[in-house]
Structure formats: structure tokens, C-alpha cells
Amino acid sequence: MAPVLRTHVDLRSEEYAANRAALLAALDDIDALYAGIASGGGTADPEKNARTVARHRGRGKLLPRERIGLLLDRGSPFLELSPLAGWGTDDAVGAGLVTGIGRVSGVECVISGNDPTVKGGSQSPITVTKALRAMEIARVNRLPLISLTESGGADLTKQVDVFNPGGASFRNLTRLSAAGIPTITLVFGSSTAGGAYVPGMSDYVVLQKDAARVYLGGPPLVKMAIDEDADDESLGGAEMHARVSGLADYLALDEADALRIGRDIVGHLGWRKAGPGPAAIPRPPLYDSEELLGIASADIRIPFEAREVLARVLDASEFDEFKPLYGTTLVTGWGHVNGYPVGVLANNGILFSEEAHKGAQFIQLCNRMDVPILFLQNITGFMVGTRYEQGGIIKDGAKLINAVSNCGVPMITLMMGASYGAGNYGMAGRAYDPRFIFSWPNHRIAVMGPKQLAGVLTIVARQKAEAAGQEWDEEAFAPIRDAFEQQVEDESTALFATGRLWDDGIIDPRDTRTVLTLALSAVHSAPVAGTDAFGVFRM
């Protein structure tokens, strides 16, 4: 039996209470954002949103999340991805698209549905980024993709930023198909011009009668181009495509019927997961996940013990720690999440050469064992200074980044605190293609901490002034420095990061085990296989 983690958290400490209060407040803010995206409309004006949604419903239409609710199996969980995409940008929060993973006819699928109440379902650059991310998740995890389409096409005011990535989305559809991953599109409304290639490139197409409109050019364009008078139905109606063009494989009578047919199609796929699946019977942790709210530091500068998190995430709080006495600021070892075996790398402080060595070795071991890896990031970076540079910390950090970059087994990353500098890279940050990456609300991310960045900027400015022979006025520079620090602070938040799809969503720390379980289950749809093909480890 594996060693059991014991807790040392003081549930009555002021620190615990303060962390908990801060995280709950952050979650309340997120809830308010969720309520906004779930109710539709996509603008800051609730009355306008209500009118838009009422008009949509008046046509007998459902909101995208309601469509997904009907599409899913009863009892199926639904892990929504990138829900706050677009936060902090001039696009609507949520980007007018709902993506996520859920079970349809017993098969875990990626579901992607336009929200026609947000700018008519038109696609902004963030919408396309979010759609591409969902497709990527479908591809690397080998999950069938179901598109619930009703979109006005590209947001023409932003066509310069949409044209190229939009094209990639159609390419990706057929690449999924080529990889043997089924693609199914249900069209509930408009899917025209470039959007017509969503059904056009899918394996299975269901069009809703008297609702779907699928054509390259609508009546005005046809009139302009070839001087033909044509109506919507004969250009792109569902019945036409079902009986004449053959674009539709199935004709649905209404929304519910389309969803039923979509479920039937998935049911007939005979889809099987290719991964080994869970290896052990699930056992709950010994400690309450509720306590994670008090453990995670609200102030990212205050470190917290990674093992306290593992004690509330791993099955039976059991953790087989590897190299516990060496490179102690990186915790490595094995455990299970709801029966799924995982290797864990968790930060417990700054990375030194020893930690980099330890991590690189551990990642190789997980690849030998074909065990997915869980990265728990709370890292302010690699150690700097003469002693460490001379000790070869670049070479050692490179070993860790090499191991992460070439890792064959699936990596799942949880941002549970800070993520600064090359530490982000060595711990499978966004650029290192983890299969999934989720953040806690207290997460902060940047090249380095805001204070440090502002300080560096000040030093560089002073050196520049002095080199130019100017007198350095520290006081005059103070407002510039403070403004920059504030800007970095604002651009380091979890919301800012999630708004730009640097992660797959902010999660409630109490849901960590559930989210990791769903991610691991998705990961096991594809084969789980390690590699021995790493880059040259610099010695």
C-alpha cells in the first residue's frame, strides 16, 4: 500500500480564512459571468439580451446550452471548455460559442455549438480560436466532434483576423475525419458562405426542416453575381439538401428531432476508447476538497504546500513519492485520480538544477510506464544568480523543458498559483501542448512578477538615461513604473489568461478531482503511449 499523505493545515488559522474568503469572492465574480453567458444575448445590456433571447425562443429555438443538455445522455457530466473566452477583449464573453466534453449515446464527444443570440452566432477571432481549441482537443484525444451549427458566418467587421484561422477550421474538420475521428454536424439555422463548409466537411450532416439554410451565396449575392432570382429554400433549404443536393444525410423535423438523430448517429458509430482506462477502483481522498479553498494562497507571493493539494485530489490521499529527499522544491510521485494512474510533478518553490534533473528523470519514467502526467504549477521561475548560472541552470532547465516538449504520454496541467517565466515552460505551460490545462481563480501568469518586471523596467530606463548622459529622476519615473506594474498585474490574472485561451477554463478548486477525472477519461479515448525519443539532453 502506498504511503498516505497527512495534513498539517490549520483550518482555524487567519490565513486559511482569508484565502477561503478571497477565493469564494473570486468564484462569485466568475458565477456572475457564467450567469451572463448562460442567459444569452452577449451584450452588457440585460434588457437587450432578454429581447434577443425572447425573439430566438419565439421561433421555437433553444439556447445552445439547452441543445447540448438535450443532446447529452441523461446523467452525463458536461465539462465546458473555455467558457470565459473573450473576457477582457472587445468580443462577447464566451465568444458566442459553447464547447465542451460530454457523453452522447455512451460516447464521450467534443460538442461545439454556436450561440445565435450573440451577434447572430457570427465568428470573431476569439470564436475561431475557441473553436480551433475544441477541434484540437477532439483530435489529440480522439473524441468524436459534434457541431451544433447556427451562425451568421464571419464577423465581417473583423474579417481580417478571421479569414485565415477560419479556413483552418474547415481544414481541421476533414483532418479529423482523415484521422478516423467522426465529425457530425447538426444545422439549426444559418450556415452560409464559408460556414457552409462546416456541414460540407463533416462525415454526417443533419439539417433541420424549415430552419437550416446552407448555401455559398444567398439570394442577394446570387442576384448580384448571376442575375438569378432565387429564394432561400431552393438555394439552401433543408428539404432541398435532403432530397436534391444530398448535402443533408438526415432531415430533422424540429430541434429535438435533430438532436435525437445526432444521438442515433453517435450510437451507430460503434466507437470504442483506445486507452487502457482506469487501473484501480476509485477511492475518495481522506480530506475534504472544500479545504482547498483555504489552502491555495490568495496572495500568490505566499507559497503553499503542494502535498496538501495532492492529499485532497489523489485517491485515498495515497502518494508514492519519488526522490523525496532530492530536489525538494519539486514534488514527484505516483498516485491515482478516480482510479486513473497518474504521475505527478508539483511545485513547492523555485526550481533549481536538482529539481530540473529530478523532473526530467521522472517524466522519462512516466513515459516508460505509459502513465499520464499531472503538472501542478505554482512556480515563480528558475533560480537566477551567478552561482546558479555557473552551475549550469540553463542546461538543467533545458533538460526539463526537453522532457516536457517531447513527452509522449498525455500531460494535464493545473495552474494552482503562480506561473512565471521559464517555470511555466518546464511545467507544461500552454505552449507545451498539455492535453488539458485548467486554472484556479487565484492563478497569476506572466513573464515575471509585476513588481519584478516594473523594477527591471526602471533599471533599464535608468541605465539608458545614464548612458545618454541624462540625469535620472527617480520621482518623475515613479508614475510610469506604477502604471506599468498595474498593467502587468491586470494582464497576469486568471481571467485575463482564460479570456485569451491560455487555459481551457478556470475551475472551482473544489471541482479539481472531478475536472481531472473528466480530463483523464477524455485522454483515455486515445492510446496512452510513452516515448523514448527525446532531444539530446545537454550534459
Partner 1 sequence: MTPRIRRILIANRGEIASRVIHTARRLGIETVAVHSDVDAAAPHVAQADRSVRLPGVSSADTYLDGEQLIAAALAAGADAIHPGYGFLSENPGFARAVGEAGLTWIGPTPESIEAMALKVEAKRIAAEAGVPLVPGAELPRGLSDDDAVLACATVGYPLLVKASAGGGGKGMRVVTDPTSLLADLQSARREAASAFGDDTVFVERYLAGARHVEVQVFGDRYGTVVHLFERECSIQRRHQKVVEEAPSPGVTAGVRERLHDAAVSLSRAIAYEGAGTVEFMVFGEGDDQEFYFLEMNTRLQVEHPVTEAITGIDLVGWQIAVAQGEPLPLAQDQIIASGHAIEARLYAEDPAHDYRPGTGTMHRFGHAAEPSLRVDAGVTDGSVITPHYDPMLAKVIAHGASRTEAAAVLADGLSRLTLHGPATNRDSLAAIVRSPAFLAGATTTSFLDEHPDLLAPVACPEDEQRHAIALAVAVCEPDADARVHPGWRNVPGVPESVTAIRRGGSDATTILVDRGRGRLGIRIARTPDIPFTAAFALEGERIEDATADVARGSADGPTIVTVSVGGVAARCTVARYGDEVFVDDGIHASAWTLAPRFPDHSRDAVGHGAVTPVPGTITGVQVAQGDVVEAGRVLVVLEAMKMEHSIRADADGVVTRVLVEVGQSVDAHALVVEIEPVEEATT
Q: Site residues (CB under 8 A) for partner 1?
A: 27, 31, 34-35, 37-39, 57, 60, 62-63, 65-66, 68-70, 72, 74-80, 83, 209, 239, 243-244, 251, 253-257, 259-260, 263, 278, 282, 338-339, 505, 507-508, 510-511, 514-515, 517-518, 521
Q: How far apart are CA 50 and CA 433, in angstroms?
A: 39
Q: How far apart are CA 5 and CA 313, in angstroms?
A: 11
Complex with partner 1: residue 8 or 74, whichever CB lies closer: 74
**C-beta of 69: minimal distance to partner 1 in Å?**
5
Q: How far apart are CA 188 and CA 169, in angstroms?
A: 19
Complex with partner 1: residue 488 or 518, whichever CB lies closer: 518
**C-beta of 251: minimal distance to partner 1 in Å?**
6
Complex with partner 1: residue 138 or 518, whichever CB lies closer: 518
Complex with partner 1: residue 150 or 485, whichever CB lies closer: 150
Q: How far apart are CA 344 and CA 447, in angstroms?
A: 24
Helix/strand/coil for 410: coil
Complex with partner 1: residue 80 or 308, whichever CB lies closer: 80
Q: Are 103 and 76 in contact (CB under 8 A)?
A: yes
The number of C-alpha atoms within 13 Å of 177 and in the hemisphere containing its C-beta is: 17
**C-beta of 61: minimal distance to partner 1 in Å?**
8
* Secondary structure (DSSP) of 240-281: HIIIII---SEEESSHHHHHHHHHHHHHHS-----S----S-
Q: How far apart are CA 87 and CA 92, in angstroms?
A: 7
**C-beta of 407: minimal distance to partner 1 in Å?**
25
**C-beta of 277: minimal distance to partner 1 in Å?**
11
Give just the sign of the alpha carbon dihedral 504, 508, 514, 517.
positive
**C-beta of 62: minimal distance to partner 1 in Å?**
6
| Cα angle 426, 431, 433; round to 5 | 90
Complex with partner 1: residue 76 or 328, whichever CB lies closer: 76
Q: How far apart are CA 215 and CA 235, in angstroms?
A: 6
Q: How far apart are CA 63 and CA 57, in angstroms?
A: 8
Complex with partner 1: residue 256 or 461, whichever CB lies closer: 256
**C-beta of 72: minimal distance to partner 1 in Å?**
8
Count of all residues that appear for the chain in the document: 539
